Structure 1
Amino acid sequence: MKIKDIVNKDIVNLENCDEEPIHIPGSIQPHGFLAGITASGMIDFCSANVSNFISLDYRSLLGKPATALFDTEDPLQLLATAAAQPQSSVTVSCAGKSFSCFVHKSGDTIIAELEPAQADSLQLTALYNLSLDSIHALQSSDTLQKLCQNVASQIRKITGYDRVMVYRFDEDYNGEVFAEEREEYLEPFLGLRYPHTDIPAQARQLYIKNLLRVIVDVDYTPAPLFTIDDAKDKNLDLGMASLRSVSPIHIAYLQNIGVRATLTISLLHEGKLWGLIACHHYSGPKHLSAYTRVSAQLMAQLLTSQIRVREVAEEYEIAKRVNTSLEQLLLYPNELNRLSFADMVQRPELLEVCKAGGIAIMHNDVIYKAGNTPADDKIRQLLQFLDSNNHRPFFQTTRLSAVYPEAGNDCNTASGILYYALEGHGQNCIIWFRPETNEEVHWAGDPDKAIIKNEKGLSPRNSFALWRQIIKCRSLRWENPEISATGTFANALQKHIHMLALSEEEIKYRELSVQLKEANDELENINWISTHDLKEPLRKIQVFSSRILSREQKDVSEVVIDSLRKMNASANRMQRLITDITSYARLRHTDNQHLDVNLNELLKEVIAEIKEDVNDLSRYVVIDDLPVVKGVELLLHQLFVNLIRNAIKFRRKDVELRIRISCLADQPYEAAPDPARRFSKITISDNGIGLDNIHKENIFKVFTRLHNQSEYAGSGVGLALCRQIMQMHNGYITADGTPGAGTDFHLYFPA
Structure 2
Amino acid sequence: MTAEPHPLDEPVDLSNCDREPIHLLGTVQPFGFLVAVSMDWLIQHVSANIGDYLDVSPDHLPGEPLSAIFPTAAIHSIRGRLQVIASHDGSERLFGCDLLGKNTFFDIAVHVSGASIIIEAEPTDTTQTVNPGALVKSMIARIQKTGDLTQLFRESVRQLRGITGFDRVMLYRFAESGSGEVIAESVRSGREPFLGLNYPATDIPRQARQLYIRNQTRIIADVGATPVPIVPASDPYGQPIDLSLSVLRSVSPIHIEYLRNMGVAASFSISVVIDGKLWGLFALHHYAPRQLSMELRAATELFGQMVALIIEGRIYKERRTTEEAVRQLHDRLIGKIVATTNSMEALADFSDELREIIACDGLVVWSKGEAHGSGRAPTADELPGLARFLNRAAASRVYASSELAAVYPPAADFADRGAGVLAIPISRSPRDYILFFRQELVSTVKWAGDPKAAKEMKIGPNGPRLTPRKSFEAWQETVRGRSRAWTDSDLKAAEALRVSILEILLRFNEETERQQSLATQRQELLIAELNHRVRNILSLIRAIVTQSKPGANTVDGFARIIGGRIQALARAHDQITSDNAAATRLADVITTEVSAYIANKASRVRLSGPDVFVEAKTFSTLALVFHELVTNSAKYGALSDSSGSIDVTWSIDADEACAIAWREHGGPPVQPPSRRGFGSTIIERSIPHDLHGEARVRYALGGLEADFLLPPTVFHLDRTARRREPDILDAIEALPRTEAPSLAGTNALLVEDNMLISLDAEQMLAGCGMEQVFMAASVAEARKILAEERIDFALLDVNLGSETSFPLVANLNERRIPFVFATGYGEQIDLPRGAEHIRTIKKPFSTDQLLAAVQEALAR
Query: Which TM bucket (shorter chain)?
Result: 0.5 to 0.7
**Does residue 62 in structure 1 map to residue 70 in structure 2?**
no
Compute the TM-score of the two structures, normalised by the length of structure 1.
0.65
- CA distance, structure 2, for counterparts of residue 176 and residue 466 of structure 1: 13
Corresponding residue number in structure 1 for 2:318: 314
SS in structure 1 opposite 2:291?
Answer: coil
CA-based RMSD: 3.6
Corresponding residue number in structure 2 for 1:166: 171
Corresponding residue number in structure 2 for 1:83: 82
Asked if 2 retains the 8 angstrom alpha-carbon contact of 1:439 and 1:471, the reply is: yes
Moved more, 21-30 or 360-369: 360-369
Deviation, structure 1 residue 486: 4.4
Corresponding residue number in structure 1 for 2:406: 402
Corresponding residue number in structure 2 for 1:336: 340
Match of 1:94 among 84, 89, 100: 100
Deviation, structure 1 residue 505: 5.3
- CA distance, structure 2, for counterparts of residue 150 and residue 311 of structure 1: 17
SS in structure 2 opposite 1:266?
Answer: strand
Corresponding residue number in structure 2 for 1:134: 140
- CA distance, structure 2, for counterparts of residue 228 and residue 188 of structure 1: 42
Asked if 2 retains the 8 angstrom alpha-carbon contact of 1:359 and 1:432, the reply is: yes
Q: Where do 1:669-748 residues align within 5 Å?
A: none
Query: Alpha carbons of 1:391 and 1:497: their partners in 2 closer, same or farther (altered >3 Å)?
Result: closer
Q: Where do 1:469-480 residues align within 5 Å?
A: 469-480=477-488
Deviations 1:547-603 (A, max 9, x none): xxxxxxxxxxxxxxxxxxxxxxxxxxxxxxxxxxxx99979999xxxxxxxxxxxxx
- CA distance, structure 2, for counterparts of residue 287 and residue 7 of structure 1: 30
Corresponding residue number in structure 2 for 1:374: 378
SS in structure 2 opposite 1:348?
Answer: helix
Match of 2:449 among 445, 450, 461: 445
Corresponding residue number in structure 2 for 1:12: 12
Query: Alpha carbons of 1:380 and 1:307: their partners in 2 closer, same or farther (altered >3 Å)?
Result: same
Q: Where do 1:199-348 residues align within 5 Å?
A: 199-227=204-232, 231-282=236-287, 284-316=288-320, 318-319=322-323, 322=326, 326=330, 329-330=333-334, 332-334=336-338, 336-337=340-341, 341=345, 344-345=348-349, 347-348=351-352
- CA distance, structure 1, for counterparts of residue 325 and residue 237 of structure 2: 65
- CA distance, structure 1, for counterparts of residue 300 and residue 271 of structure 2: 11
Asked if 2 retains the 8 angstrom alpha-carbon contact of 1:54 and 1:95, the reply is: no
- CA distance, structure 2, for counterparts of residue 195 and residue 201 of structure 1: 12
Corresponding residue number in structure 1 for 2:42: 42
Letter in 1 for 2:468: P
SS in structure 2 opposite 1:448?
Answer: coil
Q: Where do 1:377-392 residues align within 5 Å?
A: 377-392=381-396
SS in structure 2 opposite 1:151?
Answer: helix
Please, which runs of 5 or more residues in structure 1 have no aligned partner?
1-5, 532-582, 591-751
Query: Alpha carbons of 1:35 and 1:505: their partners in 2 closer, same or farther (altered >3 Å)?
Result: closer
SS in structure 1 opposite 2:263?
Answer: coil
- CA distance, structure 2, for counterparts of residue 480 and residue 8 of structure 1: 41
Asked if 2 retains the 8 angstrom alpha-carbon contact of 1:100 and 1:290, the reply is: yes
Moved more, 343-352 or 27-36: 343-352
Letter in 2 for 1:39: M
Deviations 1:242-301 (A, max 9, x none): 11110000001111111111111222111121111111111x211111211111111101
Letter in 2 for 1:100: D
- CA distance, structure 2, for counterparts of residue 228 and residue 166 of structure 1: 36
Deviations 1:58-103 (A, max 9, x none): 1232332212221x12655443332342321222423733221211
Paired-residue identity, %: 32
Query: Alpha carbons of 1:444 and 1:74: their partners in 2 closer, same or farther (altered >3 Å)?
Result: same
Deviation, structure 1 residue 32: 0.9
Asked if 2 retains the 8 angstrom alpha-carbon contact of 1:36 and 1:109, the reply is: yes
- CA distance, structure 2, for counterparts of residue 201 and residue 319 of structure 1: 32
Deviation, structure 1 residue 162: 1.3
Asked if 1 retains the 8 angstrom alpha-carbon contact of 2:107 and 2:123, the reply is: yes
Corresponding residue number in structure 1 for 2:628: none
Deviation, structure 1 residue 492: 4.6
SS in structure 2 opposite 1:389?
Answer: coil
Query: Alpha carbons of 1:141 and 1:450: their partners in 2 closer, same or farther (altered >3 Å)?
Result: farther
**Does residue 187 in structure 1 map to residue 162 in structure 2?**
no
Q: Where do 1:465-614 residues align within 5 Å?
A: 465-498=473-506, 500-501=508-509, 508=516, 512-524=520-532
Deviation, structure 1 residue 17: 2.1
Deviation, structure 1 residue 488: 4.2
Asked if 1 retains the 8 angstrom alpha-carbon contact of 2:364 and 2:373, the reply is: yes
- CA distance, structure 2, for counterparts of residue 404 and residue 419 of structure 1: 14
- CA distance, structure 2, for counterparts of residue 41 and residue 461 of structure 1: 45
**Does residue 413 in structure 1 map to residue 417 in structure 2?**
yes
Asked if 1 retains the 8 angstrom alpha-carbon contact of 2:233 and 2:240, the reply is: no
SS in structure 2 opposite 1:447?
Answer: coil
- CA distance, structure 2, for counterparts of residue 342 and residue 234 of structure 1: 66
Letter in 2 for 1:141: T
Corresponding residue number in structure 1 for 2:110: 103
- CA distance, structure 2, for counterparts of residue 319 and residue 334 of structure 1: 22
- CA distance, structure 2, for counterparts of residue 314 and residue 378 of structure 1: 37
SS in structure 2 opposite 1:246?
Answer: coil
- CA distance, structure 2, for counterparts of residue 110 and residue 68 of structure 1: 16
- CA distance, structure 2, for counterparts of residue 522 and residue 79 of structure 1: 98
- CA distance, structure 2, for counterparts of residue 351 and residue 63 of structure 1: 70
Deviations 1:296-353 (A, max 9, x none): 1111010111232111233355447656755664454245356995794475343333
Asked if 1 retains the 8 angstrom alpha-carbon contact of 2:341 and 2:347, the reply is: no
Deviations 1:414-458 (A, max 9, x none): 221121111365122211111111121111111124854235643
Query: Alpha carbons of 1:7 and 1:98: their partners in 2 closer, same or farther (altered >3 Å)?
Result: farther
SS in structure 1 opposite 2:467?
Answer: strand
- CA distance, structure 2, for counterparts of residue 121 and residue 316 of structure 1: 45
Query: Alpha carbons of 1:230 and 1:517: their partners in 2 closer, same or farther (altered >3 Å)?
Result: closer
Query: Alpha carbons of 1:80 and 1:10: their partners in 2 closer, same or farther (altered >3 Å)?
Result: farther
- Structure number with greater CO (CA < 8 Å, separation at least 6) is 1
Asked if 2 retains the 8 angstrom alpha-carbon contact of 1:30 and 1:49, the reply is: yes
Query: Alpha carbons of 1:122 and 1:385: their partners in 2 closer, same or farther (altered >3 Å)?
Result: same
- CA distance, structure 1, for counterparts of residue 230 and residue 397 of structure 2: 55
Asked if 1 retains the 8 angstrom alpha-carbon contact of 2:366 and 2:434, the reply is: yes
- CA distance, structure 2, for counterparts of residue 301 and residue 232 of structure 1: 38
- CA distance, structure 2, for counterparts of residue 317 and residue 78 of structure 1: 49
Letter in 2 for 1:404: Y
Asked if 1 retains the 8 angstrom alpha-carbon contact of 2:179 and 2:198, the reply is: yes
The number of aligned residues is 535
**Does residue 351 in structure 1 map to residue 358 in structure 2?**
no
Deviation, structure 1 residue 503: 5.7
Deviation, structure 1 residue 173: 1.6
Corresponding residue number in structure 1 for 2:28: 28
Corresponding residue number in structure 2 for 1:552: none
- CA distance, structure 2, for counterparts of residue 530 and residue 437 of structure 1: 77
Query: Alpha carbons of 1:132 and 1:341: their partners in 2 closer, same or farther (altered >3 Å)?
Result: same
Letter in 2 for 1:212: T
Please, which runs of 5 or more residues in structure 2 have no aligned partner?
1-5, 540-673, 682-860
Match of 2:432 among 423, 428, 431: 428
Deviation, structure 1 residue 22: 0.9
Asked if 1 retains the 8 angstrom alpha-carbon contact of 2:427 and 2:502, the reply is: yes
